[in-house]
Amino acid sequence: MSVGRIWEIRLVGFGRMEFMRSRWAVWVVVVMLGFLTSAASLAWAQDDDEEEGPMSKMHFVVVRDANGKPVRNAAVVLHPVTKKGKQAMGGLELKTDDDGKTSIEGIPYGPLRVQVLAPGFQTFGEDYRIDQAETLITIRLKRPAKQISSYGVQESAKKSGDAGKTDGNAPPPQ
């Protein structure tokens, strides 16, 4: 059977319009794959062009400010910082162990924003400049300060017998 004969059989199996549509669809798929391949190769080339530079191994110890005891299961969040001092996209989250410790390798030298979150403690946040092969950062978390409200009666007023008095700036009771 010749190649021309197979082609004729395919045309007979499909209507002429169906054949043209399927050919158009194949062409569109081929063009899209070409674009995706080009975009992927450009992205790969950009990653290769960037110099990684030196990396640091970071160690974190999270303790309570009041007594120095470790805070376990605290979230240590690392954010890269741009040259302009703004937080860049991306980041990593680490969790402390029972000793309040966590560590990570492969952090590039330069500015790094560290946030630490733990239930029952104030959120900690500070920017660091990473410029050593190994860096140890000890973070002391504080308990939240007592909140003062301009609305309602404060606890100290209730205890001293002034429960009926309210602040002159407070809104009238409804």
Q: What are 31-78's pLDDT values in tens digits?
A: 777 767 766 665 555 444 445 788 999 999 999 998 999 999 999 999
The HSE-up count of residue 106 (CA atoms within 13 Å, CB side) is 2
**Residue length of the chain:** 174
Question: CA-CA distance, 7 to 33, in Å (whole number)?
Answer: 26
Question: CA-CA distance, 7 to 88, in Å (whole number)?
Answer: 57
Contacts 24+ apart (CB under 8 A), 119-124: 120/144, 121/64, 121/71, 121/74
> pTM of the entire structure?
0.56
Give me the tens of pLDDT residue by residue for the chain, a chain 174 residues long: 555 555 554 545 555 556 556 666 777 777 777 767 766 665 555 444 445 788 999 999 999 998 999 999 999 999 988 888 788 887 889 999 999 999 999 898 889 999 999 999 999 999 999 999 999 999 999 998 887 878 865 555 555 555 445 555 656 565
Give strand pairing partners of 32.
Answer: none
From the list 64, 58, 56, the residue with the least C-alpha distance to 102 is: 58
